[in-house]
Amino acid sequence: MFQKILIANRGEIALRIQRACRELGIPTVAVHSTADADAMHVRLADESVCIGPPSARESYLNAASILSAATITGADAIHPGYGFLSENADFAEMVEAHGLAFIGPSPAHIRMMGDKIEAKSAMAALGVPLVPGSDGAVTDLDAARRIAAAIGYPVLVKAAAGGGGRGMKVANDADEIEEAWRTARTEARAAFGNDAVYLEKYLDRPRHVELQVLADGRGQVVHFGERDCSLQRRHQKLVEEAGSPALSAAERDALGARATSALAKLGYRNAGTLEFLYQDGQFAFIEMNTRLQVEHPVTEMVCGIDLVREQIRLAAGQELGYGQSDIRFSGHAIECRVTAEDPETFMPTPGRVTAFHPPGGLGVRVDSALYAGYRVPPHYDSLVAKLIVHAPTRDQAIARLRRALAEFVVVGIKTTLPLHQRIVEDVGFQRGDYTIHWLERFVAGH
Ligand code: ADP
């Protein structure tokens, strides 16, 4: 097992990883920018190292500084969390070249899945169904027109290197394809330094259903069921559930069997999430994330597993020690992502938190790095807390969520808590019959 783990992240996810390390008896090293000197993840770490100025590019994305911090503190493994360097294959390679363990998949798999065109063709070759689309990159406008006409409008132009919903544009008809193609490429070049784009049929009423897997790299792969992440704004998730209100146990089993056998053939290792669109009883793969996801807690609650602990154990070369039939699903879990944003305009609201009172009680979990007196810096992602509830049934989970949201107090900055309170009261949400377009309409209607 590792002697010391450096956590190359900040905020709630840095705390989340510290917690797993502490339970395993492994000391942790926190890294932080100058803007985060007072952050909770620094306060609670065994050791901390300042790795640069506030700008993420010069601190949390600065591979050289992070590797130096690991070397001087004697860490033997790095957990990247999500975001920042977590899906950067070059970084994973550098970590391994320095003789440290990267707590995640192999650099080759990170690279493969980081290119969505390559990811789709790899999955198709392994028998996983895809959203209909172009075979590979679409390099000129004439080809885009031709392929879009063949797929049938509306189509979605997507960046091969895409993430966070960026570099994605819808063309509803032939008049819109030129603009969609150009803006997706421009956005992709600016955000990812790679303007390769491809086309997909734009599905009109899918749900986003994703499957959590763990793999030992020696051919053993298990899944922990699905999460429904259809409640999105601008292609970004706001509320997630496990399991999906739309899926039967038989559908889950069939999807799980297909996905785990594909990953076993790839020789995949550590944690991963396969993302699908689900419409009319059909699953279609869109991408794979080669890291821990923000929404992993809902899976932990229904499966009673610590996914970060498993990631660490697997990276240290331990065996899974259980098979698919050992994994049981119990009850229902829902997560709300609470961000430092105005709940009406979604403008970021950094600033000082004067009071913080998280909810508690049976079946309530809050993953957050907030505390009273903390100043939310303007430089990073606006996620400040995740509220997760777990109960025997979905209806009971909704009742618990309503109760927990009413207890949750954050004073000093505006947050999206009032938006979550409105969502939980909505009968459409309560019935669970929503698609990926539901939340945009809900927000627009208020
Ligand atoms: P990113 O990596 O930027 O998050 P994804 O490929 O995961 O991009 O897609 C993000 C979201 O965009 C999906 O969850 C879904 O809501 C929407 N989306 C993606 N592809 C399609 C599609 N072909 N049709 C309709 N919606 C889509």
Question: For atom 20 of ligand 1, which residue has the closest CA?
Answer: 286
Q: Which amino acid is at 53?
A: P
Task: Tell me the average confidence (pLDDT) per consecutive run of 10 residues in the chain, 446 residues long.
Answer: 98 98 98 98 97 98 98 98 98 98 98 97 95 93 95 96 90 96 94 94 97 96 98 96 96 96 97 97 97 98 98 97 97 98 97 98 98 98 98 98 98 98 97 96 88
Position 166 scores a pLDDT of 87
- pLDDT score recorded for residue 165: 84
Same fold, 5-103 and 132-201: no
Beta-bridge mates of residue 289? 273
> Cα(7)–Cα(331) distance, rounded to whole angstroms?
32
Residue 151: Cβ within 10 Å count = 18
Tokens (6 digits) for 443? 């927000």
SS3 label, residue 291? coil
- What is the phi/psi pair of residue 282, to 5°? -115, 140
Q: How many CB atoms lie within 10 A of CB 264?
A: 18
CB-ligand 1 contact for 203 (6 Å cutoff): yes
Active-site residue flag, 207: no
114 lines ligand 1 (CB under 6 A): no
Q: Provide the CATH number for the domain formed by 207-444 in this structure.
A: 3.30.470.20
How many whole angstroms separate alpha carbon 298 and alpha carbon 240? 7
- 132-201 homologous superfamily: ATP-grasp fold, A domain (3.30.1490.20)
Instruction: Check if CATH label 3.40.50.20 holds for domain 5-103.
Output: yes
Atom of ligand 1 nearest to the CA of 237: 14
- For residue 165, report the distance from its CA to the centre of ligand 1, in Å: 7
Q: Is the CB of 232 under 6 A from ligand 1?
A: yes
Please give the Cα distance from 82 to 110 (Å, whole number).
13
Predicted TM-score (pTM) of the model is 0.97
Give domain limits for the chain: 5-103, 132-201, 207-444
Which atom belonging to ligand 1 lies closest to the Cα atom of 284? 23
Q: Supply the pLDDT for residue 416.
A: 98
Instruction: Judge if the beta carbon of residue 286 lies within 6 A of ligand 1.
Output: yes
Taking the CA of residue 168 as reference, the ligand 1 atom at the shortest distance is: 3
Q: According to the model, what pLDDT value does residue 98 have?
A: 97
Q: Is 285 in the pocket of ligand 1 (CB under 6 A)?
A: no
From 111, 252, 291, 313, active-site residue = 291
